[in-house]
Amino acid sequence: MGQEIDRTRFQPEDFARFRQALAQETRQLEQTLTRHPPTGDACFAGFELEACLVDKNSQLPSAINETFLARLSDQPITPELAAFNIEFNTPVFPLRETILRQTEKSLTTTIDTAGKTARELGAEVTYCGILPTLRDADLTEANMSKMKRYRALNEQVLSSRHGKPLKLDINGREHIASVHYNVMLEAAATSFQIHLQTPYTEFTRHYNAALLISAPLLAASPNSPLLFGKNIWEETRIPLFEQAVALGGYHGAASGPLHRVSFGSGYLQTSVIEAFRENLEHFPPLLPIVDHDPLPYAHLRLHNGTLWRWNRPLVGFDADGSLHIRLEHRSLPGGPSVPDMVANAALFYGLTHYYATTDHPPIEFATARDNFYQAARFGPEAKLHGFDKHRIAARKLLLDRLIPNAAEGLSRLQITASDIEHYLGIIEERLVSGQTGAAWQRRALEKYDGDLSRLTQRYIELQQSGQPVHQWET
pLDDT band (50, 70, 90) for residue 151: confident
Nearest CA among 143, 241, 235, 227 for reference residue 177: 227
pLDDT band (50, 70, 90) for residue 155: confident
Determine the pLDDT at residue 258. Answer: 79
Q: What percent of the chain has pLDDT over 90?
A: 84
Listed range (55-69, 98-112, 135-149, 320-334) with the worst mean pLDDT = 135-149
pTM score above 0.75: yes
Q: Within 283-337, where are the H helices? A: 298-304
Residues 6+ apart with CB under 8 A from 393: 380, 381, 382, 383, 384
Nearest CA among 212, 208, 199, 218 for reference residue 330: 218
Q: pLDDT at residue 257 above 70?
A: no
Query: Does a structural domain hold residue 19?
Result: yes
Q: pLDDT at residue 149 above 60?
A: yes
Coil/strand/helix, residue 106: helix
Q: pLDDT at residue 65 above 60?
A: yes
Listed range (154-168, 270-284, 322-336) with the worst mean pLDDT = 154-168
Containing 383, the helix (H) or strand (E) segment is strand 383-384
Determine the pLDDT at residue 256. Answer: 56
pLDDT band (50, 70, 90) for residue 19: very high
Q: What percent of the chain has pLDDT over 70?
A: 96
C-alpha distances in Å from residue 198, one per residue of 201, 266, 342, 457: 8, 20, 19, 40
- Structural contact between residues 58 and 132, judged by C-beta atoms closer than 8 angstroms: no
Determine the pLDDT at residue 250. Answer: 64
Cα–Cα distance measured from residue 155 to residue 15, given in angstroms and rounded to the nearest whole number: 14
- One-letter identity of residue 420: I
Determine the pLDDT at residue 3. Answer: 53
Residues 6+ apart with CB under 8 A from 363: 212, 371, 385, 386, 387
Nearest CA among 223, 215, 235, 238 for reference residue 348: 215
Cα–Cα distance measured from residue 368 to residue 364, given in angstroms and rounded to the nearest whole number: 6
Query: Does a structural domain hold residue 318?
Result: yes
- One-letter identity of residue 454: R
Q: DSSP letters along 41-82, please?
A: ---EEEEEEEEEEEETTT--B---HHHHHHTTTTSSEEE-SB
Domain count, the chain: 1
Determine the pLDDT at residue 248. Answer: 67
Reported as a single tens digit per residue, the pLDDT across 383-398 is 999 998 899 999 999 9
Determine the pLDDT at residue 392. Answer: 97
Query: For helices 365-378 and 200-219, what crossing angle results, to 10°?
Result: 40
Coil/strand/helix, residue 124: strand
Pairing of strands 85-89, 44-55: antiparallel
Cα–Cα distance measured from residue 447 to residue 457, given in angstroms and rounded to the nearest whole number: 13
Show the domain range for 372: 12-469
Cα–Cα distance measured from residue 158 to residue 164, given in angstroms and rounded to the nearest whole number: 7
User: Looking at the DSSP assignment, which residues form a beta bridge with residue 88?
Assistant: 49, 77
C-alpha distances in Å from residue 394, one per residue of 192, 343, 389: 21, 17, 14
Query: Does a structural domain hold residue 3?
Result: no
Reported as a single tens digit per residue, the pLDDT across 362-418 is 899 999 999 999 999 999 999 999 998 899 999 999 999 999 999 999 999 999 999
Coil/strand/helix, residue 190: coil
- Structural contact between residues 90 and 107, judged by C-beta atoms closer than 8 angstroms: yes
Q: Which residues of 247-256 are buried (b: 16+ CB within 10 A; e: fewer)?
A: bbbeeeebee
Determine the pLDDT at residue 251. Answer: 55
Query: Does a structural domain hold residue 233?
Result: yes
Query: Does a structural domain hold residue 143?
Result: yes
Radius of gyration of the chain, Cα coordinates, nearest whole angstrom: 21
Cα–Cα distance measured from residue 23 to residue 441, given in angstroms and rounded to the nearest whole number: 47
Determine the pLDDT at residue 347. Answer: 98
Q: pLDDT at residue 35 above 90?
A: yes
Q: pLDDT at residue 252 above 50?
A: no
Query: Does a structural domain hold residue 7?
Result: no
Determine the pLDDT at residue 230. Answer: 97
Domain of 313, CATH number, reads 3.30.590.20
Query: Does a structural domain hold residue 185?
Result: yes
Q: pLDDT at residue 2 above 70?
A: no
Containing 359, the helix (H) or strand (E) segment is none
Determine the pLDDT at residue 455. Answer: 98
Query: Does a structural domain hold residue 2?
Result: no
Reported as a single tens digit per residue, the pLDDT across 277-321 is 999 999 999 988 866 778 899 999 999 999 999 999 999 999 889
